[in-house]
Amino acid sequence: MKDGMRLVVISNRLPVSLFKEEEEEEWKTRQSSGGLVTALSPVIKDRGGFWIGWTGTAREDLDLKVLKTILGPSSKEIGYRLIPVLLNQDEVDNYYHGFSNEIIWPLFHDLQNNCYFYPRYWNAYNYVNNIFADVVIGHSNQNDFLWVNDYHLIPLARSLKEKKVERNCFFFLHITFPSRDIFLKLPWRQELVKDLMEYRLVCFQTWRDRRNFIDCLRIFDPHMKVQGRGPVVTVEALGRSTRVASLPISIDFRTFADIASSNAVEAKMNELKTSMLGSKLLLGVDRLDYTKGIPQKLQAYRTALETYPHLREKLTLFQLLVPSREDVPAYRDLKRDIEQIISQINGEFSTSGWVPIRHAYKSVPREELITMYRTADIAMVTSLKDGMNLVSKEYCACRINNDGVLILSEFAGSASQLKKNALLVNPYDRETTAEAIDRAFSMSEKEQYNRMSSMRRSIRRRDVFWWVNNFLRVSMNRELHDFPEREMAPLLPQSRVRV
């Protein structure tokens, strides 16, 4: 390990969540789903390192001795250490449900009507970032590479600085950065851009996000300077200088493709195909979130069934929904709306032998998900806005025969990479989205092959390891091989669980 540098990932949540079975006392852990975990886990696992994050449960509900005994074996099982941050119920309500999920998440996805700009949320956001800073200080040293992830932790570098602690902090924003007209609605807008400038690198998913950030900075510092060209530039603004980059996240392409070609998946795929009784499969896989455009997808499918009657009984929509943020009212409302639309469409179009929409509301094991990707003739992503969207890339990775069609929202970050070969749609435009469904349904094998093989090449070349390598390179001129392989990162002597 060069210079004793360790890879430390910091994010709101640890990559495992704690849960209890109904009527059972014993805590268990489950690996979390979600883009960030999917993307980073293979990397830390293979290269050593540790992960700092909140346990996902309020500390009032946790027995701390038990917590240590759960996280120890979990760390061993997943191959890297998990360092918990403990938050009480009030902090969870105001920092997580409040500032993160009711301000930044909707605002950055252009849905300002879903925002509640309560000052107590802002105070809790800063307070909790201070708690994270204390845990970081207790477990890391000056040599470590601190990779801070996402919008929950924007003030972390500033918190460390205020505590007069020097750390190498680099930031990646997984969600989009909004245009200035939207961003300016935030009461704490200047504070947030200043906080981002405290990192040595601020990295976005796409050029568009980076351009939006630089546009916002310009409002607060008209004399700002941008030096350089290409994916990484140096920005001098607000009395600080930092590098600002865009680097699209990706997936572990090879693992997805390998599992997709396994005998087990092949067998399950055949079973699933038989159960489709000759109908083609149109697949949706989304976290149940109002940014994913799920009602829009269902309505476009309804329009397709109305406008193109030959699709009836010949194209079935399977919508997989992973439960998410169930404590937030907007998410509960969305679930209800989706169920209503599904039952209306099924009521309207079902025949004695066919139900147009099947759906499942659960997180499914990876092999099952990959079986769905392999079986689906068409995958459809209709995000109203999305930082990247890993589902679109996972679907392509699993199409090992270079067939299948991807219908992709032009508002997903992955559209900038896949726009030539996916069928791009504006999910607000129901008629043209329905037309894309019909076009995908009738696309020739040759066209499918040409489009899919090209998308797969691009995703294979720029997989998650490419993403991590480039992030390390632009951050500190490091490569993945500068970090140890397959070895648990040693903890510092002063390390302890902060209780």
Q: Which amino acid, one-letter code, is at 393? A: K
Minimum Å gap between C-beta 101 and ligand ADQ is 12
What are 79's two structure tokens?
Answer: 């191959």
**In whole angstroms, what is the distance from residue 297 CA to residue 319 CA?**
10
**In whole angstroms, what is the distance from residue 216 CA to residue 134 CA?**
30
* Secondary structure E strands in 115-205: 145-149, 168-172, 201-204
- DSSP tag of 231: T
Instruction: Figure out which of the listed residues 43, 175, 415, 468 binds ligand ADQ, where binding follows CB under 6 A.
Output: 175
**In whole angstroms, what is the distance from residue 343 CA to residue 349 CA?**
10
Residue 280-299 contact track with ligand ADQ, rule CB under 6 A, x = bound:
-----x-x------------
Q: Does 62 help bind ligand ADQ (rule: CB under 6 A)?
A: no
Q: Does 391 help bind ligand ADQ (rule: CB under 6 A)?
A: yes
The half-sphere exposure of 348 on its side-chain side, counting CA atoms within 13 A, is 15
Minimum Å gap between C-beta 222 and ligand ADQ is 31
Minimum Å gap between C-beta 418 and ligand ADQ is 13
Cβ distance to ligand ADQ smaller for residue 299 or 414: 414
Q: Does 364 help bind ligand ADQ (rule: CB under 6 A)?
A: yes
Instruction: Figure out which of the listed residues 294, 320, 397, 464 binds ligand ADQ, where binding follows CB under 6 A.
Output: 320
Cβ distance to ligand ADQ smaller for residue 39 or 418: 39
**In whole angstroms, what is the distance from residue 74 CA to residue 56 CA?**
15
**In whole angstroms, what is the distance from residue 433 CA to residue 297 CA?**
8
Kindly tell me the burial class for residue 105, based on how many C-beta atoms sit within 10 Å of its own C-beta (0-12, 13-18, 19 or more). Answer: buried
Q: Does 198 help bind ligand ADQ (rule: CB under 6 A)?
A: no
- Sequence-ordered alpha helix ranges (H) in 350-414: 366-375, 390-398
Instruction: Figure out which of the listed residues 12, 27, 35, 397 binds ligand ADQ, where binding follows CB under 6 A.
Output: 35
Q: Give the interface size with ligand ADQ as a residue count (CB under 6 A).
A: 23
Q: Are 19 and 32 in contact, with CB atoms under 8 Å apart?
A: no
Instruction: Figure out which of the listed residues 369, 397, 443, 464 binds ligand ADQ, where binding follows CB under 6 A.
Output: 369
Instruction: Figure out which of the listed residues 12, 29, 38, 375 binds ligand ADQ, where binding follows CB under 6 A.
Output: 38
Q: Are 405 and 440 in contact, with CB atoms under 8 Å apart?
A: yes
Instruction: Figure out which of the listed residues 36, 182, 378, 464 binds ligand ADQ, where binding follows CB under 6 A.
Output: 36
**In whole angstroms, what is the distance from residue 224 CA to residue 288 CA?**
40
Q: Does 322 help bind ligand ADQ (rule: CB under 6 A)?
A: yes
Catalytic residues: 174, 386
Minimum Å gap between C-beta 269 and ligand ADQ is 17
Minimum Å gap between C-beta 426 and ligand ADQ is 18
Window contacting ligand ADQ (CB under 6 A); options: 31-39, 49-57, 276-284, 426-434:
31-39
Instruction: Figure out which of the listed residues 387, 404, 427, 484 binds ligand ADQ, where binding follows CB under 6 A.
Output: 387
Nearest CA among 491, 489, 499 for reference residue 84: 499
Q: Does 247 help bind ligand ADQ (rule: CB under 6 A)?
A: no
Minimum Å gap between C-beta 66 and ligand ADQ is 27
- Residues 6 or more apart in contact with residue 76 via CB below 8 angstroms: none
- Sequence-ordered alpha helix ranges (H) in 250-389: 253-260, 263-275, 294-307, 329-349, 366-375
Nearest CA among 459, 451, 413 for reference residue 254: 459
Window contacting ligand ADQ (CB under 6 A); options: 1-9, 45-53, 362-370, 464-472:
362-370
Cβ distance to ligand ADQ smaller for residue 311 or 379: 379
Q: Are 199 and 471 in contact, with CB atoms under 8 Å apart?
A: no
Window contacting ligand ADQ (CB under 6 A); options: 71-79, 114-122, 328-336, 381-389:
381-389
Give the residue nearest to ligand ADQ (CB): 35
What are 188's two structure tokens?
Answer: 């704490």
**In whole angstroms, what is the distance from residue 416 CA to residue 106 CA?**
22
Cβ distance to ligand ADQ smaller for residue 280 or 366: 366
Q: Does 394 help bind ligand ADQ (rule: CB under 6 A)?
A: yes
Residues at the contact surface with ligand ADQ, assessed by CB under 6 A: 33-36, 38-39, 174-175, 249, 285, 287, 320, 322, 363-364, 369, 386-391, 394
